[in-house]
Structure 1
Amino acid sequence: MRVLKFGGTSVANAQNIKLVLDIVIKKAAQEKVIVVVSAFTKVTDLLVLASQKAAANDESYKEIVAEIEKKHLDAIKELIPVSEQSGLLSHIKRIINHLETLLDGCFLLGELSPRTSDTILSFGELLSSYIIAEAFKQNHKNAGYKDSRELIKTNTNFGKAAVNFEITNELIADYYASNESQIVVMPGFIASTEEGIGTTLGRGGSDYTAAILAGALNASELEIWTDVNGMFTANPKIVKQAQPIATISYQEAMELSHFGAKVLYPPTIQPVFKKNIPIWIKNTFEPEAIGTFISNEDNSHTSPVKGISHIDNITLITLEGSGMVGVAGVSKRLFEVLSNENINIIFITQASSEHSICIGILNSDANNAEFSINKAFQQEISQNKIDPCIVEKDLCIIALVGENMKNHQGLSGRMFSTLGKNNVNIRAIAQGASERNISVVINERDVKKALNTLHENFFEENTKQLNLFVMGVGNVGEKFIEQINQQKKFLKENLKINLRVIAVSNSRKMYFDEDGMPLKDWQSLLSNGETSDKEAFISKVKSLNLRNSIFVDITANEAVSQTYNQYLKHNIAVVTCNKIACSSAYDNYKKLKNLSRQYNAPFLFETNVGAGLPIIDTLKHLIASGDKVNKIQAVLSGSLNFIFNNFDENNSFHDVVKEAGVQGFTEPDPKIDLSGVDVARKILILIRESGYQMEIEDIQNNSFLPAECMATTNNEDFFKSLVKHASHFENLLAEAKAKDSRLKFVATFENGKARVGLEFIPKESPFYNLEGKDNIVQFYTDRYIDQPLLIKGAGAGAAVTASGIFADVIRIGNI
C-alpha cells in the first residue's frame, strides 16, 4: 500500500489533474494506492473570503460562490466525456447549493461560528476529490472514492481538530480490509467528530490526512506531491540559490516544517515517524526529479546544516523584574496564562539569572497576550517587583537546522558572526539541548538579507555575493562596468565572489534591478530608467537591504560625497574615487572612518590617490605594522605630469591641456587639476592616513597659474585665458631648460607641514624621468630612512582608475 497526496497546485486545473492521473496510474500498476487531494488552487481562500463577506452582510459572497462553481464545472467539462457528465454535474450542483445555503445563513445571522467555518471550508476538498475520483474512474477500471470524514475522527476543536487515533486507526483498518479498489481517492484536510460533525485539521491538513492513512495502514511509503522538487535548503522564493535537499531525517524535517518550510505541514511526520514509514516529497510537474527522501537513515556523512527556515510575523514578549529571581512558579503562571488564552508559544528563552523570560508568539496574539499577562501579574507589577511586559512586534525567527550540528564546533559562532557582519541585529537566541536547531529572532525587515547571507555561508561553497550600486557612469564608470562584465566568471570560479550590479545612475537617469542587471544591456536599461534622484537612490538602496551591499561613487560631486554617512550607518560599504569626502573637514573624515568601524561597513578610497596604484593600501600596511611616516614627496597628478611631459616648443600649453581632457586625464573642470587643488587633496589624504591631523587650508599651494586664469568661472573662459597667457607658460619652460631641469608639480609633507607647487626637477631626482601620466610617491619612515619606499606607475586614465575601484570591491569580497 502506498499513499500519495497531491496539493492545490497539482490539482489547480484539468491540465494538472491529467498529470496526476498519469503519475497515479503508473504507481497503481505495482500496488494499491490511496490518493489524497487538496482543494483546487485558491478555492480554500475563496471559501474563507466568501464566509467572511457573508457574515459581514456583504452580498458579494454570491459572486465568489459563482466563481467557485465555474472553476469546478470547467474542470468537469475538460476531464469527463460529455456522455458521462450529467450525473457528476448534478452532484456538484447539489454541493454548491448546500454551500450557498450555509452562506445565506451566515448572511442572515451576521456571524460565523468556528463550527460553521469548518463546514464551509470543507467544500473545497469535497468538490475536488469527487471530480478527481470520477476522472480516475474514466481512466482506470478499478478506482473508487471514500469520504475521509467517515474514517478520521477528531475532537471539537474546530479549525485545527485533534485526531482520536484509537478510533481512527480502527475505522481505517476495517475499511481497507474489505476494500478491493486499486485506487481510492479521498479528500484531505477534513474529518468529523464521533457524532458526525464536520471538522478540519488545520491549513495544510491534507498532508496530515495522508500521513494518518499511511500510519494506520503501515504503508510502504508516503508521497507528498507538490509544485517544487522537494524540501529546499531555504525558501527558494527568497533565496534564489536554494537547493533541494536529497535526504533528511524525520527530526530535521519536523524542525524545518515547524519553522516555515511550507512544503510539509508540521504534524505530518508524527503518524509515520514511529512506524518508520519513509516520506517522499516530489514535484508533480517534474515527476522524474529526485525530490526529498525523509527517513531514519543515517545521514552523518552529509552536511551538518540541512536547511535554514523562518517564521514571519513574530512578537517577542519579555517578562522581567527582580521579583522573579528565586521565586518558584513564575514560569508556570506565565505559560498557564497563555495556555488559557489558546496562545501558542513558538520560541522560549530565559536568562540564567532568572531575571527575565522571553517568549515568541504570533503578531495576531500579541495584544491579547500583553493584556492577559499584565493582568495575571498585576499585584507584582503594582509593587514594582515585576515590570509590565515588554512587547516587540514585527519580528522574525530564523532557524538553522541539522541533525549533525551537535557534532560540529563553532556553528553557532559562525551563524552569529555571519549575521553580525551584515548588521543584522539578533534580538533573542534559543538552542535546544539536542543542538538540532539554533534559532534567533531578528527584525522582519532583515529576513531576506539574513536568509541569503546564511545560505551563502553554509551552502554555497563560501561564494560571496556582492551587490553593487554604482553612481556615476561616465568614462571611468563605463570602464568599471566593462571590467566587471569581463571578470565576472573568473571571480566566481577562482575567488568565489559573485558580483552583481543592482543599480546604475548618472545625473539624468537611474535604474534598479534587484536580481542584478544584465551588464551587456546596462546602457539601454539606464536610458529608459527613472529620473535620477539622489535621495530616492539612497532610499531604494536601504529598502532593498541586500547583503554585502556596496555603494560605488564614481563622481566628483560634493553632494554625493555628503551621503556616505547614510550608507555606512546602514552597513552599506562605500567605495569611492571621489576625493572630496576624505579631504573635507578633518572631523567629517574621522566621522566616516568611525562609522565604517561602528557599523562594520568598509570605506575604501584607494583611487583617491594614484588611480589604480596601491598607494593607500601600502600606507595602511606600514602604519598597521607599527611604522611611522616622517616625510612624503610625490608627484600625484597624472594629468599635470602628462601636461608638463608633453608641453614643449612644438605643443602649446593650451593644446596640451585640451588633449589631456580628451584623453580623460583631467577632471571635467581642468582648473581643479591645474590649480593644485586636486594634488592638495591627495597629499592631505596621505597625511591623514599616516596618522596626522591636518586641514586643506594648512597646505601651502604655490599655484603656477596667472591670477586671471584662476578667476575664470567656466571652461571656455579658462581656455581663452591659457591662450592669452601663453608667454607665461613658455617662460616657465625656458627657465626649466636653462636649469637643465624638468617641470613637475610636486607635493611635499615634512616636519608637520605640507606644500604643493611647480618645481624644477634636476636630473639626479627620481622624479626627473617620470613619463606620461605616471605618479610617484616616496615614503620616508622610521624603517625607510636613507632609501625611501617608492611606488610608481600610471596615475590617471579611465581604465586604471576603474581597475583601482574594482580592486577595492574585491578587497571587500575578501574580507
Structure 2
Amino acid sequence: MSRSSSSSSRSSSSSSSNSSSPPRTPPNLHQNSIDPSSRWLVQKFGGTSVGKFAVNIARDIVPSYIDSNKVAIVCSARSGSTKALGTTNLLLRAASEALKRPRKTSSGYVTPVANGGIFGRSEEGSQSPPSSSPRGDTYPWGTGSMTPLTMPGIDSLPAFHATVDLIRQEHFNAARASVKDAGILKALEKEIERDCEWLRSFLYASQVIDEISPRSKDTIVGLGERLACKIMAAVLRDQGVDSEYVSLEDIVPEPDDLEASDDGTLDQDFYDRLSRAVGERVKQCGPRVPVVTGFFGPVPGSLLQQVGRGYTDLLSALLAVGLDASELQIWKEVDGIFTADPRKVPTARLISIISPAEAAELTYYGSEVVHPFTMEQAIRCRIPIRIKNVENPRGGGTVIHPDPEADTAQEEDELGSVPEPVSPVALALLAARAREASKQHPRHPTAVTIKEHIVVLNINSNRKSVSHGFLAGIFGTLDRFGVVVDLISTSEVHVSMAIEDGLSKKILERLLRELQKSGTVSVHHDMAILSLVGKHMCNMIGISGRMFTTLAQGKVNIEMISQGASEINISCVIDGRDAVKALNLIHQSCLQLPESISAAKSIAVGPWLF
C-alpha cells in the first residue's frame, strides 16, 4: 500500500484510541514511585505470558515493583490456544488471504463490496455513506460499514474476513476473562472492535489494489502489539494499577529523513536516536505505568525485514537505554538460564549470572535466551538483563551482566540469586563470594545445549590442485541460496557444513546440484549440534578430551567437530537420536559440581588427552 494510506490509517487509529481513553485516574489507583531517586525498570512480557498470565502480571508482578521503581512495560502480541492461533500468525495469514485471487462463480468473480462502498460510494455510485456500523459503532477511519451485500456474482466473503473475526473473538474472550470492571471492559471491547474493523478496511483496500508492500505488512503485524497492550493496560487498571497505553507507531522519523548503511541495514546511529525518542515519549506518562507497544512503526526497508519478528525484544532494550534503566527484565515461562535444558536433563541447575558472550553462544546453538543484537543494545550501555519466570515471580532469575567482574558463571545453589535490581554493592559481594568459591573448586563450563533438526553437507573437491577456487565456489553457492551455516570444518579439498533443516525439498535439491559442480556431495539428515559453552574454557586444560571421551564411552558417534573462534564454545555434530543421551552425559561429566561426583562415577581418561 502507499505511504500516505498507511500513515493515515495509523493516525486515524491512534486518534480513535485517544478519543475513547478511560476516564481520569481515580485517586486510589496504584502509581509509579514519585521518588526523584527512583530509577526506571523495564519489564518485557512475551506473547505466552500476556496470553495466559495477564491477571497474574497485573495483580502480583507489577505492583511489587512500582513502589520503589518507575516501571515501564513492553508487550508482545498475544499467543493463542495453539501456535496457529497466535495473533501474529493470524495477522500474517489475513495479509496473505487479502492477496488471493477472488473465486469465479457462474455469475462472475466474487468481488468484495461494502455497504456504502470502501471509498464511501453506494451501489449506484452516489456518495451516501452510512453513519455507523450495524452495531452502532463509529469506525476509526470515519464512518461506514464494511458489511458486504449479497449481490449477483457474490456468494461468499473474502477469506480474510473470517480470520479478522477470529482475531476479534480471541481478544474479546481474553478481555472478558481478565477484566471484571464493566466500564473498563466496555471501553476495551470498543477498542478491540475498532482495531479489527480498521484491519478489515485495510485488507479490503489491499485487495482492491492487489498489493501489500513490506511497510503495509509491518502495519498489519503491528496491530498485534496494539491489541495486547490495550488489554494489558485495561487489566492493570482493573487490578488497581494506574496505566497508560503508549503506541509507538509514529515514533520513528519519516523514512525520507532516515539513512541506512551501504548494505541497506539500519546503523547504530538510527537505534541510538530511536532509543532517545522512545525514552522521552515514555517519560511523558508521569506517575502512570506506561504499557508500550513493541511495534515501533515504519523503518527503511521494513521492520520485519530489518529486524524480524523479535522486534519487541529489541524495542524493550532500546527503551531501557532511553530511560537509563537500572535493568531490563525479560519475563518468560522459565526460571532463567540453566546449565542444560531442564526438560531433558533432570540435574540441570539455574545460573545466577552469565556473561553476554556466553548467553549469545547459547542462543546461537539452540537455547532460547535473548537475541544477541537485542542483548547488545542493552549491554553496550551497561544495563543488566534479567530473565525471570512469570509463574515464579519471587525467583531471582538469571542476570546477563556486562561487568567482567560479575562473570562468575556459578549456579544459584552455590551463590544465591542476585538482588533486584542489580546494584554495584550487591555485585561486588557476589563477585567476592564467587572468587572464594573458585579457590575451593576449579572452574567448569557454564552450560551445554543441543540444536536439533540439522543437516550435514560434505563436499569433496574433484580438482585436488585448485583449493582456492573450490572454497570460493562453495561459499558463492551458499550466498546465492541464502543458506546460513551453523558449523563448518574445512581442509584443502574437503568441507563439512551443518545447516538448519529449514530448506524446502525443491530448494535443497537445487542447492545440491549447484554444489555438485564443485565436487562429490553427501547429505546426512536428522543430525544435532551439541555445544559446550563457557567463557573460561580456553584455560580449562583437558575439557575437550573429557567431552569427547565421554561421548565415546557413551557410544555416541561424532560426525564433525568445530571450536568457535571465540574460544568459549566447543561443538560437535551427532546423530539426532542420541541428542538427549549426549546432553545428559556431558552435563554429568563436565558441568556437575565437584562434590556431587563421586569417585565411583568419575570417568577414566587416558593421560594423552590432557
For this structure pair, what is the TM-score category when the shorter chain's length is used for normalisation?
0.5 to 0.7
| Aligned-pair CA distance for 1:90 | 1.9
Amino acid at match of 1:176: G
* Equivalent residue number for residue 489 of structure 2: 349
* Equivalent residue number for residue 252 of structure 1: 358
Task: Work out whether residues 42 and 72 of structure 2, in 8 Å CA contact, stay in contact via their aligned partners in 1.
Answer: yes
Report percent identity of matched pairs: 30
**Distance change in 2, residues 1:24/1:201 (3 Å):** farther
* Equivalent residue number for residue 363 of structure 1: 501
**Distance change in 2, residues 1:170/1:204 (3 Å):** closer
Amino acid at match of 2:308: G
Cα deviations by residue, 1:710-763 (Å, 9 ceiling, x for unpaired):
xxxxxxxxxxxxxxxxxxxxxxxxxxxxxxxxxxxxxxxxxxxxxxxxxxxxxx
- 1:630-645 correspondence runs (5 A): none
**Distance change in 2, residues 1:356/1:48 (3 Å):** same
- Aligned residue for 2:77, secondary structure, equals coil
- 1:63-212 correspondence runs (5 A): 63-77=162-176, 78-79=178-179, 81-101=181-201, 117-137=217-237, 143-151=243-251, 163-177=266-280, 179-181=283-285, 182=287, 183-188=289-294, 191-194=297-300, 201-212=307-318
More strand by percentage: 1
**Distance change in 2, residues 1:117/1:425 (3 Å):** farther
Cα deviations by residue, 1:8-67 (Å, 9 ceiling, x for unpaired):
222124x53342453223323223232111122232344455556676789776555434
- Return the match for 2:66 from 15, 22, 28: 28
Distance 1:156 1:363 in 2: 35
| Aligned-pair CA distance for 1:283 | 0.9
Structure with bigger RCO (C-alpha 8 Å, 6+ apart)? 2
- Return the match for 1:270 from 360, 365, 376: 376
Task: Work out whether residues 37 and 185 of structure 1, in 8 Å CA contact, stay in contact via their aligned partners in 2.
Answer: yes
| Aligned-pair CA distance for 1:414 | 1.5
| Aligned-pair CA distance for 1:408 | 0.8
| Aligned-pair CA distance for 1:403 | 0.5
TM-score, length-normalised on structure 1? 0.50
| Aligned-pair CA distance for 1:250 | 0.6
Confirm or deny that 1:37 pairs with 2:75.
yes
Amino acid at match of 2:407: D
Confirm or deny that 1:318 pairs with 2:458.
yes
Amino acid at match of 1:145: Y
**Distance change in 2, residues 1:80/1:337 (3 Å):** farther
**Distance change in 2, residues 1:119/1:199 (3 Å):** farther
Task: Work out whether residues 54 and 235 of structure 2, in 8 Å CA contact, stay in contact via their aligned partners in 1.
Answer: no
Distance 2:489 2:553 in 1: 24
* Equivalent residue number for residue 450 of structure 1: 582
Confirm or deny that 1:402 pairs with 2:441.
no
| Aligned-pair CA distance for 1:412 | 1.4
Cα deviations by residue, 1:395-450 (Å, 9 ceiling, x for unpaired):
22111111111111121122112222222221111102432001111222221222
Distance 2:161 2:62 in 1: 36
| Aligned-pair CA distance for 1:150 | 3.2
- Aligned residue for 1:416, secondary structure, equals helix
* Equivalent residue number for residue 215 of structure 1: 321
| Aligned-pair CA distance for 1:358 | 2.0
| Aligned-pair CA distance for 1:256 | 0.5
Distance 2:347 2:201 in 1: 48
Distance 1:152 1:26 in 2: 32
Distance 1:313 1:189 in 2: 31
Amino acid at match of 1:169: D
* Equivalent residue number for residue 339 of structure 2: 233
Cα deviations by residue, 1:440-488 (Å, 9 ceiling, x for unpaired):
1122222122212222223345899xxxxxxxxxxxxxxxxxxxxxxxx
| Aligned-pair CA distance for 1:249 | 0.5
- Aligned residue for 2:49, secondary structure, equals coil
Distance 2:342 2:583 in 1: 10
Which sits farther off after the overlay, 100-109 or 309-318? 100-109
**Distance change in 2, residues 1:337/1:191 (3 Å):** farther
| Aligned-pair CA distance for 1:195 | 9.0
Which sits farther off after the overlay, 50-59 or 363-372? 50-59
| Aligned-pair CA distance for 1:326 | 5.5
* Equivalent residue number for residue 49 of structure 2: 10
Which sits farther off after the overlay, 225-234 or 17-26? 17-26
Task: Work out whether residues 192 and 199 of structure 1, in 8 Å CA contact, stay in contact via their aligned partners in 2.
Answer: no
Cα deviations by residue, 1:559-605 (Å, 9 ceiling, x for unpaired):
xxxxxxxxxxxxxxxxxxxxxxxxxxxxxxxxxxxxxxxxxxxxxxx
Which sits farther off after the overlay, 85-94 or 136-145? 136-145
Unaligned runs of 5+ in 1: 465-491, 498-815
- Aligned residue for 2:474, secondary structure, equals helix
- 1:738-777 correspondence runs (5 A): none
- Aligned residue for 2:459, secondary structure, equals strand
- Aligned residue for 2:378, secondary structure, equals helix
Task: Work out whether residues 275 and 321 of structure 2, in 8 Å CA contact, stay in contact via their aligned partners in 1.
Answer: no
- Aligned residue for 1:124, secondary structure, equals helix
Distance 2:277 2:553 in 1: 59
Distance 1:198 1:400 in 2: 32
* Equivalent residue number for residue 445 of structure 2: 305
**Distance change in 2, residues 1:494/1:408 (3 Å):** closer
- Return the match for 1:459 from 562, 579, 591: 591
| Aligned-pair CA distance for 1:5 | 0.7
TM-score, length-normalised on structure 2? 0.66
Distance 2:55 2:466 in 1: 61
Task: Work out whether residues 320 and 357 of structure 1, in 8 Å CA contact, stay in contact via their aligned partners in 2.
Answer: yes
Distance 1:196 1:494 in 2: 58
Task: Work out whether residues 462 and 496 of structure 1, in 8 Å CA contact, stay in contact via their aligned partners in 2.
Answer: no
Task: Work out whether residues 461 and 470 of structure 2, in 8 Å CA contact, stay in contact via their aligned partners in 1.
Answer: no
Task: Work out whether residues 119 and 199 of structure 1, in 8 Å CA contact, stay in contact via their aligned partners in 2.
Answer: no
Distance 2:197 2:360 in 1: 40
CA RMSD in angstroms comes to 3.7
Amino acid at match of 1:368: I
Confirm or deny that 1:336 pairs with 2:436.
no
| Aligned-pair CA distance for 1:73 | 1.5
- Aligned residue for 2:499, secondary structure, equals strand
Task: Work out whether residues 559 and 573 of structure 2, in 8 Å CA contact, stay in contact via their aligned partners in 1.
Answer: yes
Distance 2:259 2:311 in 1: 16
| Aligned-pair CA distance for 1:374 | 4.3
**Distance change in 2, residues 1:180/1:16 (3 Å):** same
Distance 1:109 1:450 in 2: 55
Task: Work out whether residues 156 and 199 of structure 1, in 8 Å CA contact, stay in contact via their aligned partners in 2.
Answer: no
Amino acid at match of 1:365: L
Amino acid at match of 1:68: I
- 1:488-507 correspondence runs (5 A): none
Which sits farther off after the overlay, 322-331 or 227-236? 322-331
| Aligned-pair CA distance for 1:152 | 5.7
Amino acid at match of 1:4: Q
Distance 2:380 2:478 in 1: 30
Task: Work out whether residues 406 and 435 of structure 1, in 8 Å CA contact, stay in contact via their aligned partners in 2.
Answer: yes
- Return the match for 2:553 from 394, 414, 421: 421
Distance 2:358 2:202 in 1: 42
* Equivalent residue number for residue 412 of structure 1: 544
**Distance change in 2, residues 1:196/1:374 (3 Å):** closer
Task: Work out whether residues 145 and 185 of structure 1, in 8 Å CA contact, stay in contact via their aligned partners in 2.
Answer: yes
Amino acid at match of 1:221: E
Task: Work out whether residues 343 and 369 of structure 1, in 8 Å CA contact, stay in contact via their aligned partners in 2.
Answer: no
Task: Work out whether residues 359 and 369 of structure 2, in 8 Å CA contact, stay in contact via their aligned partners in 1.
Answer: no
| Aligned-pair CA distance for 1:292 | 0.5
Distance 2:44 2:220 in 1: 22
Amino acid at match of 1:170: R
* Equivalent residue number for residue 691 of structure 1: none
| Aligned-pair CA distance for 1:82 | 0.9
- 1:271-670 correspondence runs (5 A): 271-295=377-401, 296=403, 297-299=406-408, 301=438, 303-321=443-461, 323=463, 325=465, 327-351=467-491, 354-365=492-503, 368=507, 371-372=510-511, 374-375=513-514, 381=517, 386-461=518-593
